[in-house]
Each structure stands twice: as structure tokens, then as C-alpha cells.
Amino acid sequence: MAKHKYIETPEKLESYWEEYKASVKSNPDMIAQLSNKGEIVFLPVEKPLQYNEFETFLNRAMVRDGYEYPLKTIRHYRDLDDSYSEYRQVVTRIESDWEADNVGGAMTGKYKAPTLIGRLHNIVETKNIHLSGEVSPFTPFDIDVPEDDSTG
């Protein structure tokens, strides 16, 4: 007997992703800032796409659409067995969209957390420091102190 799929087709999963992206981009966060006149103004700030937020959105959308057992995680569709192999291409596209939005937004300054985004996407800057030479032991009793010959 075939395994019941929570989302029947890869196209349906992709349509949920597109719905999520449109929802995020059309509902910016509002940031309070002080104007030149000393007044508090609220400025819209575009939100980045977030993997965990998409999973929450997906669960709510599935319940809305009448699914009895919502999905726990999007990674469910990227599992190692072949029961969801036809979903892998869509999941890869979703992950690519997510990464492109996050990294591109950090690089342009649209999102102000580049180090956090770098960690989320396993982008790290490393420095390799190599020291060479010898270290000689120092003992304070090996110091030659000149004798005072001014008494003469």
C-alpha cells in the first residue's frame, strides 16, 4: 500500500511556497525611528524569508485547506527514502530561493544581520594564522646585570 502524502503533489508544495513569499513581502515589519523633528515615525522594513516561518505558514495553510494531519517539517519532503523523490526538486528550489533572499539581502544591507545569515547558510570566514620560529625558555635568574664600578 502506498504511503499517504500530506501534500499530494510537488506543485501544491510549490504553490504554498509562492503564497508564503507573497505574504511575507507584502507585509513588512514596522520599525520605529526618530525623525528630524523629534517625532517617532514607523518605517516599513522588508522581512527576510525564513525557513521555520515557512513551516509554520505551511502547517496553518494545510489546516486551512482541510488537511487532517499537517506537516511537521519541510525536510520531511527531502527524506532519504524514495517515497518523496518527486518533491526534492521543489524543495531544492525553495531552499535556493530562501538562501538567495537571505544572502542577497545581507549583502545589500537590506537585512542587518549578515553574521546571523552567514551562520544560517554555513557561510563562514576563516583566518589561518601560522606562526613559526623558536621559543626559548626564559628564567629570570639568567639575566646578566652589570656590576656598578662607580665606587672607585
The tens place of each residue's pLDDT in the chain, 152 residues long, gives 445 667 888 899 999 999 999 999 999 888 888 989 999 999 898 888 888 889 889 888 988 888 776 666 776 676 656 777 888 889 889 988 888 887 777 777 777 766 666 666 666 666 667 777 776 666 666 566 677 766 65
Number of neighbouring beta carbons within 10 Å of residue 33: 10
Contacts of 71 (CB under 8 A, 6+ apart): 6, 7, 55, 58, 59, 62
List the domain boundaries for the chain: 10-123
> What's the pTM value of the predicted model, to 2 decimals?
0.66
**The domain over range 10-123 is classified in CATH as 3.40.50.300:** no
